[in-house]
Structure 1
Amino acid sequence: MSTKVTDRWRSASATLLLAVALLTGCGLPADGRPANEPVFAGPSPDGPLAPVATGGPTGVVDVVPSSVPVVPISYPASGGNRWVTASAESAPARNGRGTLMRYRVAVERDIRGLPVEDIATAVTDTLNDPRGWTAGGAWRLRRVGADDPTDFTVYLATPGTRDTLCQDQPDGYTSCRNGGRVVLNVARWVKGVPGYGASLATYREYMVNHEVGHKLGFGHERCPGRGRGAPVMQQQTLGLHGCTANAWPYPQGKVRYSGPVGAYDDRIPRREGAYSAH
């Protein structure tokens, strides 16, 4: 099925340090229906700004105003299915005996104000977290660049392109996993979901872990009991059913936290349209 969440992601201006807030839903692939292939294009027009050192006293860094304007977050209801891909992560490769899964991160070019490297950092920080999918030792996850071999791609897509890539019941609201595509709906990334009961950063972590969990072979689960944490494979975007929000498959160590197998017959909210920050 799909994914959702509330708030907004902001790029920093040159006079400020970048403030970044840091997951869920899913769709089932349609039987035999080919999806339109994404088209990867050049570098993102958006990017974080950095302080510039000037000729002041030693050890002092002045922040110099930039002529590059801050780009507010905006996106159309449906983009052009063209993408900018993040660079490979720079951290040294992590050793381990788990299966190596390589992934790319791509942002649809019609999405403004969410630089691809910022999104890639958020996704990689989530997947590398000690509470994440690598905690059990079965997998190693590493972000690669556009020209490297890959096992799956994490897309941040407009609501309409979400439907194109997911090839499930088109809803324009949720996120999904379809084959090697882990599709995060930008509307959920920016706005979250009502009544989630946790921060937008937590919801984004849930989005990533839930959809990547499908890629790793896990299906939907249900709330294991009122007042308990929701399993990350529960469709928290559509409802918590008495559980509390939880973004992590291994919240307390080496044993995966899970619930009964199955899904709820939750209503999917109406599809999302275009968005422009005010």
Structure 2
Amino acid sequence: MTDRGVDRGAGRPASARRSRTSRERVVRDRVERRQQQRVRQRRRGAVLALLAVTLLLVGVDLTNGLRGGSASGEPTPTPSQAPSRQAAPPPAAGVPTPSLAPSAGESPAPATVVDQGAGTFTVAPGGTGVVGAGKLLTYRVEVENGTNQDTAAFAAAVDRILDDPRSWTATRQVAFQRISTGTPGVTIRLASPKTTDRLCYPLDTEGYTSCRVGNNVVINLARWLTAVPDFAGHLTEYRQYAVNHEVGHRLGHGHMACPAAGQLAPVMQQQTLGLKGCRMNPWPYVNGQLVTGPPVP
């Protein structure tokens, strides 16, 4: 995988380019089949849910008819009034709560998402001092050209996240430093959805998720600009989560599951795909405590 997104097909024999094109076509076809399967599953689930609600309401109506009406005098809810999801229980006593205050200098307003950028990248100039104590992991920040994103602004956001005392430096086993020359320990890229799919291969990001492959972290532009439904209204926190999660993979941490409903989600939980009853949490450490959950095989 090239560091700067150079066209690897240029200068190669036609047979090699055809081979790459065939492989990409296979990946796209597989992703499309998976998406279609998920759509069918969601539709089937919606039908079953509607049927269950209908049967429940019929049972309530029959019971009220036998009792001469509802004891509370409140009308029986219609399917459109029924709650779409069960509310999570209140937080358990003593559970640390992360700060949800937006970071200074980050605008929560989403911009237009460019689905396909140029495929080449601009390196953020300059660098930072060493933050944290422990084994040094240097990182380089790059932004895909043609995405209408400011390279320096993205680099500054990444710097703030990794420099935060709630990030991985809280372990006191790792330190970070951004560089713009030489060979970094990890390259953190902001890429359009289609470029993300290409860079994350063989992982299947489906134009939606971010990834870490080898020494490369790829942040999906669509997620960076719009977050996900469970982080609605908390774009800054989602950005913090995305960087901490993918860098966590580079540090050797695997996925975790939600420990219990109402608890904070571990940063290594795949919160992009749903909180599973947990509460959003963008940080590995909260109030000096590591937030953990059951490991995902």
TM over 0.5: yes
2:5 is matched with which residue? 39
Report matched runs for 1:162-241 at 5 Å.
162-167=196-201, 168-196=203-231, 199-241=234-276
Letter in 1 for 2:197: D
Report what 1:245 is aligned to: 280
Equivalent residues in 2 for 1:60-99 (5 A)?
Answer: 73-90=111-128, 92-94=129-131, 96=133, 98-99=134-135
Gaps of 5+ in 2: 7-109
What does 1:59-138 align with in structure 2 at a 5 Å threshold?
73-90=111-128, 92-94=129-131, 96=133, 98-112=134-148, 114-138=149-173
CA distance in 2, matches of 1:172, 1:201: 21
Bigger relative contact order (CA 8 A; separation at least 6): 1
Could you tell me how far 1:37 is from its partner in structure 2? 5.1
Q: Distance in 1 between matches of 2:217 and 2:274?
A: 21
What is the DSSP-based 3-state SS (H/G/I as helix, E as strand, rest coil) of the residue aligned with 1:195?
A: helix
- Higher helix proportion (structure 1 or 2): 2
8 Å Cα contact 1:75/1:110 also seen in 2:
no
Structure 1 residue 248: Cα displacement:
0.4
Q: Distance in 2 between matches of 1:259 and 1:214?
A: 15
Give 2:290's aligned amino acid.
R
**AA matched with 1:185:** N
Whether the 8 Å CA contact 2:113–2:225 is kept in 1: the answer is no
Question: Which of these two proteins has the greater Rg computed from alpha carbons?
Answer: 2
Q: CA deviation at 1:198?
A: 5.5
Distance 1:74 1:94 in 2: 33
Identity in percent: 42
Residue 8 of structure 1: aligned partner: none
Indicate the larger mover: 101-110 or 77-86: 77-86
Q: Assess if the C-alpha contact under 8 Å between 1:197 and 1:245 holds in 2.
A: no
Cα-to-partner distance string for 1:60-105 (whole Å, 9 max, x where unaligned): xxxxxxxxxxxx9445322232001112334x43473x10000011
Q: TM-score, normalised by structure 2?
A: 0.61
Conserved in 1, the CA contact under 8 Å of 2:139 and 2:185? yes
Q: Deviations over 1:108-138 (max 9, x none)?
A: 00110x2100000001100000000001111
Shift of 1:251: 1.2
User: What is the TM-score when the length of structure 1 is the normalising length?
Assistant: 0.65
Cα contact 1:197–1:244 (8 A) shared by 2: no
> Structure 1 stretches of 5 or more lacking a match?
1-34, 41-71, 264-278
* Shift, 1:257, TM fit: 1.5
Distance 1:95 1:249 in 2: 14
Alpha-carbon RMSD across the aligned residues, in angstroms, is 1.9
Q: Letter of the 2:212 partner, please give it.
A: R
| 1:103/1:37 CA distance change after superposition, 3 Å | closer
CA distance in structure 2 between the aligned counterparts of 1:256 and 1:200, rounded to whole angstroms: 23
- Tell me which residue corresponds to 2:184: 150
Q: Structure 1 pair 141/95, CA: closer, same or farther in 2 (3 Å)?
A: closer
User: Structure 1 CA distance, aligned partners of 2:138 and 2:169?
Assistant: 13
